[in-house]
Amino acid sequence: MPELPEVEAIARTIEPLIAGRRILATRLLHPIVARNSPCDTDGPLSLANARARKVIGVCRRGKYLLIELDRGWLAYHFRLSGQFVWYDRRRPLGHVDFALDFPSGTLGFVDERHLGRVRWLDRPEDLPGIARLGLDPLSRDFSGERLAGVLRGSRRPVKLVLMDQEKIAGLGNIWTAESLWQARIDPRRRAETLSGRETRDLARSVARVVRRALKSCLDPAPDFRNPEWWFENGDKMARVYAREGRRCGRCGAVIRRVEQGGRSTYFCPGCQR
């Protein structure tokens, strides 16, 4: 699933393609992409509001990508496998769920599993998932003190708190695991047990990991003209994620995998305490 660094990289790369341009047409090829439930009929109809609107800019909030229009917003959530594809000329769109036609080409939202979602909004906060987002690791407000306020009093495992979008916006399974490894903190520990020093170290690790991941996602930048593109450097950065049975590059212990909240958690039992 695209997390904060990947979505941020997509937003920064797609903005030069569409900012300042007017949407000629909207094409909804698979209505499920605009529905919050099987009975939702307003979502698919509302996407037509983007037609003839001018793109002001593109940004990210948590794992949401937002396209600001001269009236309203388009909010995309990539879920597990959604992505953008750019066509310089209009042509058959294959698995595209939703498309925006511009004078210079077409921006298609592709998700073969049809799990991704697109919504038209008067303002981003009208979507509950955005309105409830917590602290963003790329914001100036992200600090050890602010993170301590999030962790304080929580008996949940620290990894699950970091992945809670209402607590910390944008982190997912991969970069949470990497941040905890960098900070030498066991993901199974109760959040409330972290000391002040550990919390400060964790905040620095989260910010460092996210910024390094963003840099890797932009080098090379996403190639929206290639339907097969995906981020190439994430696996190279991983120190624990999906490395079960391998040796930790820091202490040499064997990396373990456990299940937390229905997801796999990878950590080093030798140096994460």
Active-site residue (options: 35, 204, 263, 269): 263
Which residues lie across from 77 on neighbouring strands?
A: 64, 117
Structure tokens at 129: 């998932």
Q: What is d(CA 218, CA 58) in angstroms, rounded to the nearest whole number?
A: 16
Query: Edge-to-edge strands of the sheet including 64-69?
Result: 55-61, 64-69, 73-77, 117-121
Active-site residue (options: 3, 6, 68, 198): 3
Annotated active-site residue 263? The verdict is yes
Annotated active-site residue 3? The verdict is yes
Active-site residue (options: 2, 44, 137, 157): 2
Q: What is d(CA 51, CA 136) in angstroms, rounded to the nearest whole number?
A: 31
Q: What is d(CA 169, CA 176) in angstroms, rounded to the nearest whole number?
A: 11
Structure tokens at 142: 């992200």
Write out the H or E segment, with its range, that includes residue 263. strand 263-267
Structure tokens at 120: 């038209």
Active-site residue (options: 53, 61, 63, 167): 63
- Any idea which residues carry the catalytic annotation? 2-3, 63, 263
